[in-house]
Structure 1
Amino acid sequence: MQLFEKKLRQTIDEQVQIKPWKESEKIPLYFLEFYKMYEITLLGVTFLLAKEVRSPASTNALKKHAIRLCSLTDLPVAFLFKSLSRYRMQSMLSNRIPFMLEDAQMFLPFLGINVKQPKECIQKVEKGKFSPSTQLAYLYFLYRENVEMNATRLAKELNVTTMTASRALQHLYEVELVQCRISGKTGRSKEYRKIEDPQFFKRGKEFLCSPVKQIVNVRHLPDTSLLAGLEALAQLTMINGPEYSIRAIGQDQFSYMQETIVRDEAMVKDMKLAELQIWAYDPLLFSVDGHVDPLSLYLSLMDVKDERVDIALEDMLRRQRWYTD
């Protein structure tokens, strides 16, 4: 293990620390038959390193072991192997199972580090919708010009954990929406910069989804709520607004106001009670003059089947510097 630690110091992180895992009582004896456990701190992130001591388990078993060990220790988990066949490496990459090899190759998605692979083993990135945290990171870059950002600073800006920010940046990097360079005296910091506008929007829009997770009606709107939906669109364009208020808040704020919800449909219609959208992320992060940001507003209304709404949305987007058809 000393040789492995030395190689990591030479290639990845001069401050890396590896020590035996001391809380073995948390781990069932069954796992200790397969792995020797270590605690490793790499690039400022601590995780559990499970070194194989028997023939490697199947990919499905490794995936289950990783989930179980993570729940037992409350730490990210990676497996350490002396070597891997090309087939096993590809299988672990496809299943996104974190691993390290004794020659310092590694795949640690929670750190945004990918193994150096032969061309035959390059992982294909699955195209799917962004998670809320990745969409937040995307919006952060969209609304700022000429900004470089690493995981630590982004975490502070978005009020998320460093690990969440690291995963979001890695996802943006995998789909080629940001570029990355290594900086710092020890080469430990990964700095990300978005690709040029308007390609950033053009390529990224296919991964975006509506931030609205739930809609409720309420008697009283929270002070921190923002204009949203058709009411916000009416303020930004020539479309007529609704007869009732439409506002948005984040999920965290919503947990404190359950008692204000009105579920009687007749009362909602008669009193024209406000509609409150519950968003997957905090709309305050990118709010503009009391309303939600324009791209999130577009995403929240893009499935409305109304030609007038489509025209108004297009009008709003065309006024944004980053927009392109």
Structure 2
Amino acid sequence: MNAQAAALREYLESILGFRTKLTRIKLDVPFSVQEAFYLFKLEINVPGTTTPLIMLAALQREDDYPGIVALRKRLAVIEKATDWVVVYISNAISLVERRSLIDNHINFIAIRKQFFVPELAMDLREAFSVRKKKVLEESEFSPATQAMFIQLLFDESAFKPDALYTAEKLMGSYKYSRVTLSRAIAELRESGLLTLISEKDFSTRLYKLKYSRSKTFGKALKMLRSPVKKRVWVNKIPPLNNGICYAGDTALAEYTLLAPGSKPVFAMTQKVFSAMVKDHEFEEVAHIDSAKATVEIWRYRSPKAFTHIVDEVSLYLTLKDDKDERVQLALSELKEENTWMAFGD
């Protein structure tokens, strides 16, 4: 381990309070990218959990900052070659350069100066909750677990008495790493909603949902949370592609008789949002008067993203605390259309 990597490990352990592990890895990326970075698998071991938080640390070999354009291109190549969250690491990032990285939504760690990894923020927040020993009657699902679980809710056949699932089948349309999938299955089993039927190796184990569809939804409600990380205003209407969906009152109007607001609402993940900004599809604006639309940045891709309207369960979670009576009436109508959701009343 070189001096920079050792400094990174020391810095992370000092600010997080968790043991970390750095392992040098190789990726199938162009030589120019290999020359620019030392690549490490970074594991953050959280007390009380069975699997570590994992990200890929792209450690800048030279102290000279390459510029935001060149950096984005190199990191994009790395992101295509791994399932892990990619974080740019450098020992020499100026204040101006750090602001540029934040504005361009790039995960980065300036050693001994700043930790900016919004894609892991929720996981780390949960980790600190473990460290502080906050005792909750019910623990919230991680974003990956929630997305996979909601996808199962829309599979009516999953609740038939003879329905059995392998790990891959539970994952459905998502493309999780084995670590993420293992964690999601562990969370569903710990919640009491999923039962292991057959003890085999990981890929051939068989699982079964314990309860009916409505009872499963009702028991899971305390573990489900709004998928919205933040809301921003943008200066153009986003195109309905690449996992972008109608959300908020716009989506609710698609499902019910609610009249939509004057500015449409869209949902997308941070990765999609960053790519759209990078490709100049739209820009974030500071004032609603300059906005053409609202974008909700979600913690996961909706299981119904292919329809370009967010799924009913995630939509309910985003709006259930809305004080507008019209919205609450529309949510009641939404649950009437999906009777198994009425358990939450």
Selected match of 2:269 from 231, 234, 250: 250
Selected match of 1:221 from 235, 238, 243: 238
Residue equivalent to 1:74? 41
Residue equivalent to 1:232? 251
Residue equivalent to 1:127? 138
Q: Which has the larger radius of gyration?
A: 1
Q: Does 1:136 pair with 2:127?
A: no
What is the SS of the residue equivalent to 2:297? strand
Residue equivalent to 1:20? none
Q: Deviations for 1:269-301, whole angstroms, at most 9, x for unmatched residues?
A: xxx611111111112x32474311001111111
The CA distance in 2 between the partners of 1:137 and 1:215, in whole Å, is 23
Residue equivalent to 2:325? 307
Q: Deviations for 1:178-211, whole angstroms, at most 9, x for unmatched residues?
A: 1111255x68733222222211001001111111
The CA distance in 1 between the partners of 2:240 and 2:207, in whole Å, is 35
Q: Check conservation: 1:179, 1:192, Cα contact below 8 A.
A: yes
Q: CA 1:232/1:136 → structure 2, altered by over 3 Å: closer, same or farther?
A: same
Measured after TM superposition, the shift of residue 148 of structure 1 is: 3.2
Measured after TM superposition, the shift of residue 125 of structure 1 is: 8.4
One-letter amino acid of the counterpart of residue 238, structure 2: L
The CA distance in 2 between the partners of 1:76 and 1:263, in whole Å, is 36
The CA distance in 1 between the partners of 2:226 and 2:250, in whole Å, is 17
- Alignment coverage as a number of residue pairs: 227
Residue equivalent to 1:193? 208
State the percentage of identical aligned residues: 27
Q: Check conservation: 2:304, 2:311, Cα contact below 8 A.
A: yes
The CA distance in 2 between the partners of 1:174 and 1:168, in whole Å, is 10
What is the SS of the residue equivalent to 2:173? helix
Q: CA 1:77/1:188 → structure 2, altered by over 3 Å: closer, same or farther?
A: farther
Q: Does 1:296 pair with 2:300?
A: no
Q: How does 1:21-60 map to 2 (within 5 A)?
A: none
Q: Check conservation: 2:240, 2:308, Cα contact below 8 A.
A: no
Q: CA 1:156/1:316 → structure 2, altered by over 3 Å: closer, same or farther?
A: closer
- RMSD of equivalent CA atoms: 3.6
The CA distance in 2 between the partners of 1:161 and 1:267, in whole Å, is 42
Selected match of 2:287 from 254, 257, 265: 265
Residue equivalent to 1:118? none
One-letter amino acid of the counterpart of residue 195, structure 2: Q
What stretches of structure 1 of length at least 5 have no aligned partner?
1-22, 29-62, 79-91, 98-107, 111-123
The CA distance in 2 between the partners of 1:163 and 1:126, in whole Å, is 26
Q: Check conservation: 1:125, 1:175, Cα contact below 8 A.
A: no
Q: Check conservation: 2:20, 2:42, Cα contact below 8 A.
A: no
Q: Deviations for 1:93-113, whole angstroms, at most 9, x for unmatched residues?
A: xx426xxxxxxxxxx557xxx
Q: CA 1:70/1:126 → structure 2, altered by over 3 Å: closer, same or farther?
A: farther
What is the SS of the residue equivalent to 2:197? strand
Measured after TM superposition, the shift of residue 227 of structure 1 is: 1.4
The CA distance in 1 between the partners of 2:288 and 2:179, in whole Å, is 46
One-letter amino acid of the counterpart of residue 190, structure 1: R
The CA distance in 1 between the partners of 2:23 and 2:136, in whole Å, is 26
TM-score (norm 2): 0.56
The CA distance in 1 between the partners of 2:198 and 2:296, in whole Å, is 40
Measured after TM superposition, the shift of residue 135 of structure 1 is: 0.5
Q: Deviations for 1:53-99, whole angstroms, at most 9, x for unmatched residues?
A: xxxxxxxxxx97x8233667838799xxxxxxxxxxxxx9xx426xx
One-letter amino acid of the counterpart of residue 96, structure 1: G
